[in-house]
Amino acid sequence: MLTPTRELYWNIPGHLLVYAAFLVAVIVFAYGIYRRVRLWRLGQPDARFDQIGKRLLVMIRDGLAQAAVLREKVHGMAHMAIYSGMIILTIGTFLVLLQADFNIQILFGQFYLWYSLVLDLFGLIFLLGIVFAIIRRYIIRPKRLNIIADDVVILPLLLLITITGFLLEGARMAATSPEWATWSPVGNWIAGMINTSKAEGLHRAMWWVHMILSMIGIAYVPYSKLFHTLMMPANMYFKSLKPRGQLTTMDLENSETFGVTDIHEFTWKQLFDLDSCIQCGRCQDQCPAFNTDKPLSPKKLILDLQAQMEKRGPDLLKTKKSGEEVIPEPIIGDAVTEDEMWACTTCMACQEHCPASIEHVQKIVDLRRSQVLMDSKFPQELNLAFKGLETNSNPWNMGAASRADWTEGIEVKTLADNPEPDYLWFVGCAGAFDDTAKATSKALAKILNAANVNYAILGADEQCCGDPARRSGNEYVFQMLAEANVEMFKETGAKKIITACPHCFNVIKSEYPQFDGEFEVIHHSQLIAELIESGKLKLPSGKLGKAAYHDSCYLGRYHDIYNAPREILKTMTDGNLTELQHHHDKSFCCGGGGARMFMEEHIGTRINHSRIQEAADAKVETLGVACPFCLVMLKDAVKEKELEGIAVREIAEIVADQL
């Protein structure tokens, strides 16, 4: 037997033209990249060049291993087919380059046979992936995919490149009939259908078509969705390594402008994000605002901002060069509407499911910041919340002195009673002022007393954690509150803070470190689960009927706390727990996050109604929640929809009932 190999550029006179074509492709490619880089550089500085090792790991996990894409099984696998096919075929081409141009002889013998087999099979896998994608986009047409001009080019282009590749392989094999033909099963199968006398001609024609189409493909990358093959891993590399969802802090004393009014006021990374979007629509699928007919779609938001960047680009580049003053063109009212911006509940579902690691929420808050801090424009209902936060340190504008009134008639230790507690209990505004949520506070007091936990509350000295202010864009009020609370915590010497509100939990844990406040923060669900596990709390089993747990966004997606509340409920349901249609990282917001708790919901259907319908559909008797906003929103939904038989209950109340 001959040594298995093949003659490179067999049957192709003038093959050196490939270098000229490649050079052209590279120039067009480089120019395309340069055009985008210029736009990103219009943005503000953002330090994303630190911690190289950690960033590489994130890129490998989310990008190379496709962890994010594979969260959707079927589409994820189809993407995996195209992705792995493309990588293997690129490596294969690279090996040809090594042999042809660097004279490293590798494509012979046993290695060549395996090389032939692997490339042949991955070519087939790639082809199947492309065919699946074509059927899905052009025939099935799911709502989240729209067809833009680019889509009419890319998939057919890739399909043609693959088909011509197989045809030229088949033609070559038909003409040369190698002994080892079975190592290229697809090529061999095609070869069988080709008339040997015409094989050489066909081979030569297909070779040139395949080569030119491939070069077009390379050149087209930075001008099309194919750009995602570079942008997405790069964007993962630059992903925020801060606590998830932590919003940037602002220098209020020394800034001239606040938030983002015009597109170039975003950071370069935020502009980079815009070019990383592949328009898959996973964000939109998960968005509670979009799914209840609000004008917001996270996908549309990113694409509209990208269009705005392209529209403003030439002018901004000109002023940047000449040093003239920029005449701002506000984004709000042009590329993005006020209603879109205010519809966001900051639930983080879009960001969680974005395979490109795009950071949507910060952008929305940046736009809100400019509206609130520069123009004083915001939904009128927030006026009362802001005033309340400023004068009475709570968004309901109840008298600050009445903050501890909920403790009347029950045993709750204050810092005055117990100056050296193990845990400082940060009650939060909802738990202190809202009648529905006060019941949670009372229940938690009962639990803590029963388990002999050494705790104390701040009483009237506590102030709002600042979450509604920060997430509605009022950074000024947020910083005022955060600084006051950090100072207060430090005065008390508190190390561990318990809170029953996921919003307080998130802000104190993830955002107070920006104000020099590092504390161990424990959500009451974690503490209660621990008390049950250690036997300090004994609960009768099987007390609840059919129960489910509604994930709070700020516990689940923000902090990966999915199990503690479920474990608590399970102790009382003999280990059984139903899941609603949306749960864990795909859970559906109650509608109260992002200061939406304090705004009216005028547009579309109500988010809380949509969510409670899931509980009704699952025929749940008890819906456990672990957040005062969820509690209020979902209880209201039960009342408004007149759903009988669903009890929305805070987990602490459920537990306290059994004591």
Nearer to another protein, 322 or 376 (CB): 376
Footprint of another protein on residues 338-397 (CB under 8 A)? 373-376, 378, 380, 383, 386-387, 391-392, 397
Nearer to another protein, 247 or 498 (CB): 247
Footprint of another protein on residues 241-300 (CB under 8 A)? 252-253, 258
Nearer to another protein, 69 or 373 (CB): 373
The burial of 598, by beta-carbon neighbours within 10 Å (0-12 exposed, 13-18 middle, 19 or more buried), is given as buried
Q: Is 399 in the site for another protein (CB under 8 A)?
A: yes
Q: Residue 458 CB, nearest distance to another protein (Å)? A: 15
Q: Is 641 in the site for another protein (CB under 8 A)?
A: no
Q: Residue 589 CB, nearest distance to another protein (Å)? A: 26
Q: Residue 380 CB, nearest distance to another protein (Å)? A: 7
Sheet holding 622-625, edge to edge: 547-549, 622-625, 647-650
User: 304-308: long-range contacts (C-beta < 8 A, 24 or more apart)?
Assistant: 304/335, 304/336, 305/263, 305/266, 305/274, 305/331, 305/335, 305/336, 305/363, 306/274, 306/275, 306/277, 307/335, 308/263, 308/334, 308/335
Nearer to another protein, 394 or 526 (CB): 394
Q: Residue 388 CB, nearest distance to another protein (Å)? A: 8
Q: Residue 392 CB, nearest distance to another protein (Å)? A: 5
DSSP annotation string for 77-115: HHHHHHHHHHHHHHHHHHHHHHHHHH----SBHHHHHHH
Sheet holding 496-499, edge to edge: 455-457, 423-426, 496-499, 520-523
Q: Residue 255 CB, nearest distance to another protein (Å)? A: 9
When binding is defined by CB under 8 A, the residue of 398, 404, 484, 647 that contacts another protein is 398
| Number of residues forming the site for another protein (CB under 8 A) | 21
Helix (H, G, I), strand (E, B) or coil at 156: helix
Q: Is 479 in the site for another protein (CB under 8 A)?
A: no
Distance CA 301, CA 361 (A): 11
Nearer to another protein, 619 or 639 (CB): 639
Q: Residue 508 CB, nearest distance to another protein (Å)? A: 24
Distance CA 520, CA 540 (A): 31
Distance CA 470, CA 463 (A): 14
**Would you give the DSSP letter of residue 121?**
H
Footprint of another protein on residues 198-217 (CB under 8 A)? none
* Residue 37 CA: distances (Å) to CA of 79, 272, 322, 324, 473: 27, 9, 19, 21, 29
Nearer to another protein, 13 or 409 (CB): 409
Select from 397, 425, 595, 446 the least CA-distant residue to 508.
425
Q: Residue 361 CB, nearest distance to another protein (Å)? A: 21
Q: Is 598 in the site for another protein (CB under 8 A)?
A: no
Q: Residue 467 CB, nearest distance to another protein (Å)? A: 19
DSSP annotation string for 168-217: HHHHHHHHH--TTGGGSHHHHHHHTTS-HHHHHHHHHHHHHHHHHHHHHH
Nearer to another protein, 453 or 595 (CB): 595
Distance CA 515, CA 512 (A): 5
Q: Is 605 in the site for another protein (CB under 8 A)?
A: no
Q: Is 643 in the site for another protein (CB under 8 A)?
A: no
Q: Is 645 in the site for another protein (CB under 8 A)?
A: no
Nearer to another protein, 224 or 474 (CB): 474
Nearer to another protein, 35 or 387 (CB): 387
Residues at the interface with another protein (CB under 8 A): 252-253, 258, 373-376, 378, 380, 383, 386-387, 391-392, 397-402, 476
